Amino acid sequence: MAGQNFNDTDNSQQPGSEGRSVGGTEYSWCRAVPGGTGITVLSLLLSKLPDISALQNALHKLQNSHPIFRSKLTHDPTTNTFSFAISPIPSLQIESFDVPFTSHLLQNNPLISPFHCVLEHELKRNPWSPKHEPPIHPDTETVFASLYSLSDTKWVLALRFHTAVCDRTSAEFVLREMVRLVGDEKGIKTGKKGEVGLGIEELIPSGKANKPFWARGIDLLGYSLNSFRFANLEFLDTISPRSSEVVRLQMNSDDTTRLITACKERGIKLSGALAAAGLIAAHSSKDLLNHHPEKYAVVTLIDCRSLLDPVLHSCHLGFYHSAILNTHDIKGGEDLWELAKRCYMSLSNSMDCNKHFSDMGDLNYLMCKAIDNPGFTPSSSLRTCFISVFENPLIDDLNDLCQEVGLEDYMGCSSVHSVGPSIAIFDTIRNGQLDCACVYPSPLHSREQMQKLIDNMKRILVS
């Protein structure tokens, strides 16, 4: 039966924080998610039917240990402010979808695998949207769980989060803890006393976010004016309703080792190579005359946990990433490694100047302004940059545990079909192999267009 809820099996109460108002970065996500950007999905392909009771208990243990996952978003329309209200007991229920429902779902996407199809379906489900049917209570949960039956031997467990409570590091932690808990390992890691942590702005080291008033005004003006000069991929449909789709970039072990080794030899990170390959592929896709320059924007997301005061660890769940925006002039014929070095050095220099902290408020402000005024972006596309990458890839070492619980594959990423990049790259090195979920807004861009771009990126990186 589609939409069946399994009963709660562990209602033990866990004392915790009563909640708090959202911080500046969290507020930006509260503004973005209703339109479709910031729906974070962790999707797991299973070859063993999970014990529903054990799975429900595992999710409730996770909620008990991390109150932020028991939170509901409350909105005060009179002040247009948001807060996290923490439920005293875990309330997450697994929604079950049977084979007939999933088969009907798959008929609409014959070109991608069933697992891939479920991931994209989850990215489209937006309970935080004002257009959601049926209407839901204003105090909305921030975490949802669904189990899809693909066949008698395959299932997909999908966890869906509001990005204000779950960044990429948090999603990785959830994956590890779910595998451990379902695998009957005891204990769970928690943050300080299992409390709701502060927002990132409250934890920036003293002085690191300082910026004179006039400098802030000049930077805001610069970001705004430069955005009209940014080049983008060709927009195919700027009118129709949008959703997020995914193209996967995967490399074998040999190619991944060569790529990582080449980055280390040049003193750069993988993010620089991924950004450079994307820029070269984008420029070459337009068949421009050689040496015709275009200015592309790259956003790099930095996990700030180790840079905060006090230092946080991966078990501190929430959103603790900042963004740095850099621009690069591409004229065609660039060497991959020269451009990768340039991308990395631009990021490194920005971080040396603390722009990941001092520009945080500026970029959040401009993000909200773009949401309110789409016409300020090219073709009202809401594209703020061409590509976004993460400073560091995730490293997966879960192989033995994955086999134990029947975890055959997984993907984690966030939606981008409201404000955001044309392509967002979520990179993981899994068993020594590079695996990237590359998310884009459709039909602003087509699957064929983005698959061609990703294939070109891979060719550039491998060769």
- Give the pLDDT confidence score for residue 4 in this predicted structure: 45
Same domain as 189, residue 263? no
Task: For residue 244, give the amino acid letter.
Answer: S
Which of 198, 216, 238 terminates a domain? The answer is 198
190: confidence class by pLDDT, cuts 50, 70, 90: low
- 359 and 427 in a single domain? The answer is yes
Residues 247, 104, single domain; the answer is: no
335: pLDDT strictly greater than 60? yes
- Cβ-in-10-Å burial (0-12, 13-18, 19+) of 324 comes to buried
| 186 and 217 part of one domain | no
Q: Are residues 133 and 236 in the same domain?
A: no
pLDDT interval class at 8 (50, 70, 90) = very low
My answer on whether 105 and 210 are in the same domain is: no
Q: What beta strand segments (E) does 167-293 contain?
A: 243-250
Length of the chain: 463
**Secondary structure (DSSP) of 409-431:** EEEEEEEESSSEEEEEEEEEEET
- The distance from CA 159 to its chain's CA centroid, rounded to whole angstroms, is 13
Q: Please choose, from the candidates 10, 458, 37, the residue with its C-alpha nearest in 3D space to the C-alpha of residue 258.
A: 458
CA 372 to CA 35: how far, in whole Å?
11
Each residue's pLDDT tens digit, 355-387? 999 999 999 999 999 999 998 899 999 999 999
Residue 5's φ and ψ, nearest 5 degrees, are -105, 135
Residue 12, domain CATH: 3.30.559.10
Q: Among positive and negative, which fits the CA dihedral 440, 441, 445, 447? A: positive
Note whether 30 and 165 are same-domain residues: yes
Same domain, 160 and 226: no
Q: Which of 168, 198, 228 is the last residue of a domain?
A: 198
Under DSSP, the state recorded for 83 is E
Strands 383-390 and 294-303: parallel
- Residues 108-128 have pLDDT tens digits of 787 899 999 999 999 999 999
Do 229 and 192 fall within a single domain? no
Which two structure tokens, joined as six digits, stand for 199? Answer: 């927002």
Q: What is the pLDDT of residue 361?
A: 92
CB within 8 Å of 346: residues ≥ 6 apart: 326, 328
Shared domain for 122 and 232, answered yes or no, is: no
- How far is the first Cα of the chain from the last one, in angstroms, to the nearest whole number? 49
Instruction: Decide if pLDDT at 310 tops 50.
Output: yes
Distance CA 377, CA 367 (A): 11
The residue type of 49 is L
Same-domain pairing of 219 and 148? no
CA distance 122 to 384: 24
Q: Which residues on neighbouring strands pair with residue 385, listed in sequence order?
A: 421
The structure tokens listed for 290 are 């050689």
Q: Which domain holds residue 81?
A: 4-198
Which range is least confidently modeled, 1-15, 56-70, 191-205, 407-421? 1-15
> Per the structure, how many domains does the chain have?
2
The mean per-residue pLDDT over the stretch 320-344 comes to: 95
Mean pLDDT throughout 394-419?
Answer: 86
Distance of CA 449 to the CA centre of its chain: 21
Angle CA 438–124–146, to nearest 5: 100
pLDDT tens-digit map of 76-99: 888 889 999 998 888 899 999 999
Distance between CA atoms of 397 and 405, rounded to whole angstroms? 15
Residue 191: what pLDDT? Answer: 55
Structure tokens given for 372: 């309110």
189, 223: one domain: no
| Beta-bridge partner residues of 321 | 303
**Which of the four pLDDT bands, split at 50, 70 and 90, describes residue 212?**
low
Can you tell me whether residue 253 is helix, strand or coil? helix
| Cα–Cα distance measured from residue 326 to residue 295, given in angstroms and rounded to the nearest whole number | 10
C-alpha–C-alpha distance, residues 358 and 130, integer Å: 33
**Which pTM does this prediction carry?**
0.92
Question: Of 198, 214, 246, which residue is a domain's last?
Answer: 198
- Bridge partners (DSSP) of residue 20 are 84
Mean pLDDT, residues 27-55: 93
354 DSSP 8-state letter: T
Q: Tell me the CATH number at 271.
A: 3.30.559.30
